[in-house]
Amino acid sequence: MSIDLDRSDNDAVAGLPGYREDATLLEVDDLRVEFHTRDGVARAVNGVNLRLAAGQTVAVVGESGSGKSVTAQAIMGILEEPPARVAGGEIRYRGVDLLKLSADQRRRIRANHIAMVFQDALSALNPVWTVGFQLSELFRTHRGMSRKDAKKRSIELLDMVRIPAAAQRVNEYPHQFSGGMRQRVMIAMALALDPKVLIADEPTTALDVTVQAQIMRLLAEIQAERHMGMILITHDLGVVADVADDITVMYAGRAVEQAGVGDTFATPAHPYTKALLRSIPRLDVKGQQLEVIAGLPPTLTDIPPGCAFAPRCTYAKDICRTEQPPLRTVADGRASACHFAKEVMTDV
């Protein structure tokens, strides 16, 4: 479905400093985000790099607390500052450094260009308004549509996310929808203003397995149809294999491996990725014992020098405890932040 837009919000970006139509859709360079807490400064994101092209899906994976959601919130411009503080780096959308924009300019980019689907639709939707009203408000505020046109568009959107009987359900409240249907409503809201980048932060975790698969299929279809760039944050490596082109593995607030999904699964170039892959069941191996990654991630207020994974790494040598390995190219289209990436890749 295409949406006729009043382009005013969209055109706003073209006049911003650095804008280039042909620039990479989204680039994150050396992003750093810290939280000022009673226990000290928690370095939640410590130099993350990401690249996302139009039509591409990049999966972001990593243990709980590795900085996936904070990275997403920084890209969206929805970090609560304070306690959060963006301590460094750049986030460029079509060449425009978002971190240099005013709050109003960022608000226009949000929803119109970069939108997000959260894990918990119930808390993201307003319980006191009907779904149709919440969708219509987007069209009325951002596109200046009449009430009637906005409602018509809302029904079309609910249809697009395959909510049956959309014309009736548009008048219902969020609590009247099942978990899966509510997540579809949230996807409809995120897509309403035709964003070019969609960030989905564990969009299916709260749902049962069959519904998860349906929602993932829907997201993947819409992403392909609209040629959007999608950042998919997930714990589910099966989903990664199904829908993502590239993968970014995060550990202690850093990207430690980036590559095509096929390469990463076949020959991981970082010991942490290797351990993650070993910790999931494989359908093709019978009687396999799951490996648990021994040890814990570092405390973010006290990240040790050198490689943050060293205390848990079976490949660690002396240099790992003193020198932080930069994320660097280790093969065509593959990057790893490990001093011994080449050995890790060939050690199967």
Ligand X SMILES: Nc1ncnc2c1ncn2[C@@H]1O[C@H](COP(=O)(O)OP(=O)(O)OP(=O)(O)O)[C@@H](O)[C@H]1O
Give the binding site for ligand SF4 (CB under 6 A).
270-271, 307, 309-310, 313, 315-316, 320, 325, 338-340
CB of 216 to ligand SF4, least distance (A): 30
- Among ligand X, Mg ion, ligand SF4, none, what binds residue 70 when CB lies within 5 to 8 Å by partner kind? ligand X
Name the site residues for Mg ion (rule: CB under 5 A): 68-69
Distant-in-sequence, close-in-space partners of 276: CB < 8 Å, separation ≥ 6: 61, 62, 237, 249, 293
Is the CB of 83 or the CB of 295 nearer to ligand X? 83
CB of 161 to Mg ion, least distance (A): 23
Q: CB–CB of 206/149 below 8 Å? A: no
Distance CA 31, CA 317 (A): 28
Is the CB of 9 or the CB of 246 nearer to ligand X? 246
Question: What residue type is assigned to position 304 of the chain?
Answer: P
**Length of the chain (residues):** 348
Is the CB of 9 or the CB of 201 nearer to Mg ion? 201
Distance CA 319, CA 132 (A): 58
Name the site residues for ligand X (rule: CB under 6 A): 35, 37, 42, 44, 62, 64-70, 83, 300
Is the CB of 166 or the CB of 247 nearer to Mg ion? 247
Is the CB of 60 or the CB of 150 nearer to Mg ion? 60
Distant-in-sequence, close-in-space partners of 45: CB < 8 Å, separation ≥ 6: 31, 32, 33, 34, 67, 70, 71, 74, 253
CB of 254 to ligand X, least distance (A): 12
Alpha helices in 61-120 (DSSP H): 68-76, 103-112
- Among ligand SF4, ligand X, Mg ion, none, what binds residue 325 when CB lies within 5 to 8 Å by partner kind? ligand SF4
The CA-CA-CA angle for residues 68, 119, 72, to 5°, reads 30
Is the CB of 300 or the CB of 335 nearer to ligand X? 300
* Residue matched to tokens 């014309």: 167
Question: What residue type is assigned to position 311 of the chain?
Answer: P
Q: CB–CB of 198/231 below 8 Å? A: yes
Structure-block tokens of residue 6: 């009043």
- Among Mg ion, ligand SF4, ligand X, none, what binds residue 64 when CB lies within 5 to 8 Å by partner kind? ligand X
- Among ligand SF4, Mg ion, ligand X, none, what binds residue 67 when CB lies within 5 to 8 Å by partner kind? ligand X
CB of 143 to ligand SF4, least distance (A): 49
CB of 201 to Mg ion, least distance (A): 6
Among residues 274, 273, 220, the alpha carbon closest in space to that of 248 is found at 273
- Among ligand X, Mg ion, ligand SF4, none, what binds residue 50 when CB lies within 5 to 8 Å by partner kind? none
The distance of Cα 200 from the centroid of its chain, to the nearest Å, equals 5
Is the CB of 83 or the CB of 262 nearer to ligand X? 83
- Among ligand X, Mg ion, ligand SF4, none, what binds residue 338 when CB lies within 5 to 8 Å by partner kind? ligand SF4
